[in-house]
């Protein structure tokens, strides 16, 4: 699964593709899309990502592509730009969206299509980056004290933390809830980290 850039005629733009185990490719785009960027796939072959359509060529919208090729598009309420980032085996999707005040919020979309906003308390900027099979979500958020990593448990409780000396972090959880990622220190040097639950 990925995307490619077409350079001529009707193929101009970014398109999604799926490579099967036997090496065959399927190219796909949600209806009306001019740019398609898939970002996550689960074991059932359900894909999520964002696309830009012809009607409003500056806004990103979320999509779900089922294994049979059917599409469902979505946007959290109040979103002017939707950016799904990860999908788990239950087809729960996380990511972030931009509201009309240009504030980024995290979201969780259940398989049945219910969407909720997920922001750590006191935060003003949120980018969930991964959701594991248990429904735990990891990502980055900023508040009045700076930017931090967060872990949101399936029950909705948040844990925030920072690798020692970090000023910026990117992370995602594994099935056991351990989180790995990278961070930059005050000298803007990048480091890797592993956080154990």
The better pLDDT of the pair 20, 170 is held by 20
How far apart (Å, rounded) are the C-alpha atoms in residues 135 and 87?
A: 10
The answer regarding whether domain 125-197 maps to CATH 2.40.10 reads: yes
Question: SS3 for 165?
Answer: coil
Tokens representing residue 19 in the block: 């490579």
Question: SS3 for 33?
Answer: strand
Summarised one tens digit per residue, pLDDT across range 119-132 is: 999 898 899 989 99
Q: Are strands 25-28 and 190-195 parallel, antiparallel or unpaired?
A: unpaired
Average pLDDT over residues 19-43: 93
Q: What is the pLDDT of residue 169?
A: 62
| pTM, 2 dp | 0.88
| Residue-range domain boundaries for the chain | 1-118, 125-197
% of the chain residues with pLDDT over 70 = 93
Token pair 């239950």 is found at: 90
Q: What is the pLDDT of residue 47?
A: 98
Instruction: Select from 34, 38, 37, 26 the least CA-distant residue to 10.
Output: 34
Residue 9 carries which DSSP code?
A: G
pLDDT at residue 135 is higher than 90: yes
Q: What is the pLDDT of residue 109?
A: 98
Q: What is the pLDDT of residue 53?
A: 87
Summarised one tens digit per residue, pLDDT across range 136-186 is: 999 889 888 878 888 999 999 998 887 777 666 666 677 777 788 777 888
Q: What is the pLDDT of residue 119?
A: 94
């Amino acid at each position: 699964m990925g995307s490619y850039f077409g350079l001529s005629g009707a193929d101009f733009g970014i398109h999604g593709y799926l490579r099967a185990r036997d090496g065959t490719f399927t190219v796909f785009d949600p209806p009306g899309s001019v740019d398609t960027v898939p970002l996550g796939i689960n074991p059932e072959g359900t894909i999520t990502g964002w696309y830009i359509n012809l009607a409003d060529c500056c806004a990103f919208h979320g999509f779900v592509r089922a294994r049979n090729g059917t599409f469902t598009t979505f946007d959290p309420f109040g979103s002017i730009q939707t950016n799904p980032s990860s999908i788990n085996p239950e087809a729960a999707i996380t990511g972030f969206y931009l509201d009309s005040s240009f504030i980024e919020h995290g979201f969780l979309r259940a398989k049945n299509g219910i969407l909720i906003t997920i922001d750590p308390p006191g935060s003003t900027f949120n980018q969930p980056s991964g959701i594991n099979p248990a429904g735990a979500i990891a990502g980055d958020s900023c508040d009045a004290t700076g930017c931090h990593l967060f872990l949101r448990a399936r029950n909705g409780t948040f844990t925030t933390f920072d690798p020692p000396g970090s000023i910026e972090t990117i992370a995602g959880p594994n099935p056991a809830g351990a989180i790995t990622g990278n961070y930059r220190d005050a000298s803007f040097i990048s480091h890797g980290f592993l956080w154990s639950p």
